[in-house]
Every structure is written in C-alpha cells, then in structure tokens.
Structure 1
Amino acid sequence: MTAALAEQGTPARVPAQDPPAPPATPRRRPRRERAFDDVPRWQIYLPLALYLLFTLVPFYWMLLFAVRPAGSTSLVPWPVTTAHFEKVWNERSFGIFFQNSMIVGVATLVATTTVALAGGYALARFDFRIKNAFMLALLCSQFIPGALMLVPLFEIFRNLQMINSLGSVVIAETVFQLPLSMILISGFIKNVPVSLEEAAWVDGCSRMRAFRAVVLPLLRPGLVAVGSFAFVHSWNHFLFALMFLSEQDKQTIPVGLNTLIGADSVDLGALAAGGVIAAVPVVIVFAFIQKWLITGFSAGAVKG
C-alpha cells in the first residue's frame, strides 16, 4: 500500500524540526561598571597621579639627601656619594641596629604567628561559654594605646631581669599584636570547610595531623599576612625599644634614628641615609608578598 501511494505521487512525510532558538540576550554589565564608562579618563588618572606624587615626593627627597654630597643644594642627585651610608653604618653603629631590628622582627613574626595560629583555630573550630566575650575583649584591646602598657610591662621585665634584653621587646611586641592576629587567623580558618578535616578524620588522621595536612596548607595567605604585619610593626615600632633598651649595642633602628637628631643641629644626610636603610627591608617584604598579603587580609575579614 505504501508503494502504491508512492507511485500515485503522495508527498513523503517531512520529519518535525525544532523551532529556532531565540537570539542570546547580551549580558548587562553592573551599573557600577557602566558608570565608569561615562567618566572621562582624566578625572580618574589625575587624582591617582596627584596621590602618587604626594606619596613618592617624600621618598625622593629622603633619597636625594642620602646620596648627594653634604652642602649640595641640587635637586638632582649628581654626583652620587655613599659617604652618608658609610658614616651611619660604621660610625653610628647602624650595622648593630640593623642586626638587632632583624632579630626582633623575625622573633616577633614567629612568636605572633605561632600563638595566633593556635588561638585562631580554637576560636574558629570550638564553641565555649565565654567565646563571644573573649572575642569582644580582643576587639576592645585594639583601642588601648601602647603607651599605657609601658609602666606595667617595665615593672614586669624589671622583676624578671629582662631590661636591656631583646627578649623583652619581642614579648611586648607579640602581646601587643596578638589580638588582631588571632582575629584575622580565626576569620581565615572559618573559610576552610570543616568537611575537609572530617574526611581526614575518617581516613584515620588525628586532629593535629589533619590540621597539618589539610588546613595548614590552605592558610598560607593568612599566615603571610599576619607574619608580615607583625614583622613590619615590630621593625618600625619605636616606643618599646626606647623604653626597654638603654644600652647602645641592644638598640634597634628606630632608636638609632632618634640618636641622629641632636639638640642644636641635625645631620640631614646621615638621617636620610638611616631612613633609607630602615625602609629597604619593609619595601622588599611588601614587594614579594603583596599578592598574598591582600588575599590574606581580605579572606580573614570575611567572617568574624
């Protein structure tokens, strides 16, 4: 019968086809992005250029005084001299100051990061009765100026016979920076899913081993942020070193810079050279860890 219909000229059945898909709607960009398209470029770059100029001019001025000869008034550092650096490094004992500052900074970094890691893990993973009150106390402690801690800390270190010891400065700096460091580490640990640790526990890992194998590698940006902040703060801090260190061979760079300012005159070249020496480690630290530092601070501030 089918053959007969075909011979009579019956048209063959055409298979059904899907209707054409509607054209894709272009994704609309957020209103904030569209707003920047209407702003002239000079209104963006001009304020940024002024801010950059305002930031870099003091550094250029310090570098200019450090490398140009004494008595010169040129705005261009030529001819370049290293006499000021040799003077502060050899005659003003900045080599010893640099070594002491490095010891204090590295020791404070290690102590602050270790204690903050333990405390931050406890705040992030355990619930206890006074947890909220403890977190509030940590936050309120940030409003206490370091100057109020000088007298009690001095009495404590004097009774422990730790005056004129770099250990006293390390302990003071660690205590002063622990609250903020614990809050940052706690916020970063909360972003690590607990299921990762639970999976390690199921596989037979203890809590400590699961922490070292699973959680600790994910905390690298947070540890870099907390450690760099502790190092830079202890490197630049002047008050504790001035109060607890009276012998010249135990002083740090901020106290050494203060000794370059006399009662009647100031050696601007030597002071600028000392400032450059003090700024170089901080610039190097931020240059190498800038990416991790921003990631660590932003991740630690998401949850609290």
Structure 2
Amino acid sequence: MTSAVIDREPLPDTAPQDPPRAGRRRRRHDQPPRWQLFVPLGVYLLFTLVPFYWMLLFALRESGSDSLVPWPITFEHFEKVWNERSFDTYFFNSIQVGVATMVMTLLVALSGGYALARFRFRLRMPFMLALLCSQFIPGALLLVPLFEVFRELQMLNSLGSVIIAETVFQLPLSMILISGFIRNVPPSLEEAAWVDGCSRLRGFLAIVLPLLRPGLVAVGSFAFVHSWNHFLFALMFLSSQDKQTIPVGLNTLIGSDSVDLGALAAGGVVAALPVVIVFAFIQRWLITGFSAGAVKG
C-alpha cells in the first residue's frame, strides 16, 4: 500500500508584525522632545506659584524676620486680621454676597437661557448680540448711575445693592453659556416627557435640569468667584465697616505711610483659601461644563 503524501501550502502568518525599525524611529522623531513640553510648563508654574509662596512666607513667618523659609511658623498675623481687623465680618459678608449672587444669577439665567435655546422669536439674534456687546462695558462706567439708582431706592449701605449689581453684570454671559448647554440637550427628550403627560416646567425640571449639572456648576462658580473678588461695587455702595467685604477689608490694611505686610499677606490667604478649596472640589464639573458649553450638539 502506498501512502499518498499531500503537500499543503503553508498558511500565511497572521501574527502581528512589528513595524520596521525605520518606521518606529520616524514616528518617534515626529513627536516633540519632552523638554519642549516640560520647560514651558515649569516656567509657567514658577511665575504662578512664586507669588503664592511669597504670600504664605509673609503670612507664616514672624514679624521682622527676613528668612526665606517660614520657620518657626507663627499664626499671629492671622489672629490679628481675624480678630483685630474684623476679617470675620468681612468674610461672612463676602459669603452672603457670593452665595446670593450665585443663586440669583442661576435662577434668572436658567429662564433666559431656556428661552434663547428653545424658542424662535423676532430679534432673537440682535438680543444675543446685545448680550455679547454688554461684556465690553466696564462696571466702572456705571458706578455713578447705579449709585443714584440705589440712593433713590434707599438701598445704599446694604448688601442687597451689591448683590443686585453683581447679578446684573453676571447675567449676560451666564445666559449665553446656559443657552449653549441647553441646546446640547436633545429636544426629543422633552417631547417624550410631554407625551407622557408632563408640563413644560415639569419636563424641564425632571429631564433637562439634571443634565445641566456640569454647566450650572461652571456658571455658578464663575458668578461666585467674580462677586467674591469684586472691589468697586462694595467700595462704592457700602460705607459702614460692618457691611464691607473682603476686597475692601484688604484695602484697609494698606496705610498712607506704611503697610503691615504680614497682616496683608494673612488677609490675602484668608481671601484666597475658600476659592482654592471650592475649585479643588468642583474641578471635574467645571471642565466638563465649559467643554459642554463650548461645543454645539
């Protein structure tokens, strides 16, 4: 018996082949060297972090010391500005102004942004253009007219005047941003809620509002930080010391003949710490919110 030998062609090798070395080398050369990325970032961090370190240095080291390291650490400057310079009052006044401005801005901007995003009406585009153009008007130009308005309303030397002024100046940009966030939500979701028996308001609260959470965090944090740091409105509309906010309180630490650098640095740390803590917790929401508002869905 003869056995037949069947010649089989070798199967093609389907294993992944490593790219040629020349291709890998070319691809590696196409990428910029790491130092071109880290050197500019290092220079940026140097110019950013050195002022903060300098502020902490003056706030934590003893008076009269010229050491570049805050050792031994002292908190006498913080005790001085908090107890003797009424920074506790300034701090809680700024909290009231910031939170109230944030809430009022979000409420009004939500309604206005929804109207701009969902309704088509005459003069809609000129209205949005006017909102954009209003951002080029500095608040200092309107200080005198606003002062006269609040004087007629008998609202001078009250936190309400600062809250209203801050809200009015935050509304145009906030309304434009929130309208962009709402446009990214498909209208079919609301229509499905209407079919199920929801009213427009209930559909907005149940369907659209939860999807706007990153955008609301972004707009609210922007309004809070702006009102927290704003100096002119509080200086112009508030006269008594128990109504002042932190920016005006920092200005009181600068005398005509001398400056207490330790107390001023401690006050700067007190003013910056809440903002840093807030942004540390909402960083993820903030980036997501601004990214969602920048791209039209």
What do the CA deviations read for 1:155-183 (whole angstroms, capped 9, x no partner)? 11000000000000000000001000000
TM-score for both structures, normalised by structure 2:
0.90
Shift of 1:303: 3.2
1:139 equivalent in alignment to 2:135: no
For 1:77, the equivalent position in structure 2 comes to 70
For 1:226, the equivalent position in structure 2 comes to 219
For 1:11, the equivalent position in structure 2 comes to none
Shift of 1:38: 2.8
Pairing partner for 1:171 from 164, 171, 174 = 164
- Percentage identity across aligned positions? 80
What do the CA deviations read for 1:128-164 (whole angstroms, capped 9, x no partner)? 0010110000000000001011111111100000000
1:202 equivalent in alignment to 2:195: yes
For 1:91, the equivalent position in structure 2 comes to 84
- Aligned counterparts of 2:41 and 2:142: Cα–Cα separation in 1: 39
Letter in 1 for 2:229: N
Shift of 1:44: 1.1
- Aligned counterparts of 1:220 and 1:133: Cα–Cα separation in 2: 28
- Aligned counterparts of 1:159 and 1:264: Cα–Cα separation in 2: 37
Letter in 2 for 1:94: F
Shift of 1:37: 5.0
What do the CA deviations read for 1:72-112 (whole angstroms, capped 9, x no partner)? 00000000000000000000000000000000000000000
- Aligned counterparts of 1:44 and 1:188: Cα–Cα separation in 2: 33
For 1:113, the equivalent position in structure 2 comes to 106
- Aligned counterparts of 2:215 and 2:187: Cα–Cα separation in 1: 17
1:182 equivalent in alignment to 2:200: no
Pairing partner for 2:281 from 277, 288, 302 = 288
Structure 1: any 5+ residue segments left out of the alignment? 1-18, 27-33
**Pair 181,263 (structure 1): closer, same or farther in 2 beyond 3 Å:** same
Structure 2: any 5+ residue segments left out of the alignment? 1-10, 19-26
- Aligned counterparts of 1:142 and 1:277: Cα–Cα separation in 2: 29
- Aligned counterparts of 1:25 and 1:186: Cα–Cα separation in 2: 51
Pairing partner for 2:236 from 232, 243, 256 = 243
Letter in 2 for 1:163: L
**Pair 278,23 (structure 1): closer, same or farther in 2 beyond 3 Å:** same
Q: Which runs of 4+ in 1 moved over 4 A?
A: 19-26, 34-37
For 2:247, the equivalent position in structure 1 comes to 254
Letter in 1 for 2:54: W
SS for the counterpart of 1:293 is helix
SS for the counterpart of 1:69 is coil
- Aligned counterparts of 2:210 and 2:257: Cα–Cα separation in 1: 55
Shift of 1:43: 1.6
1:67 equivalent in alignment to 2:60: yes
TM-score for both structures, normalised by structure 1:
0.88
- Aligned counterparts of 1:220 and 1:151: Cα–Cα separation in 2: 37
- Aligned counterparts of 1:46 and 1:115: Cα–Cα separation in 2: 45
Larger Rg: 1
**Pair 220,69 (structure 1): closer, same or farther in 2 beyond 3 Å:** same
For 1:162, the equivalent position in structure 2 comes to 155
For 2:22, the equivalent position in structure 1 comes to none
Root-mean-square deviation over aligned CA pairs: 2.0
Give aligned pairs, total: 280
Shift of 1:23: 8.5
- Aligned counterparts of 2:108 and 2:45: Cα–Cα separation in 1: 37
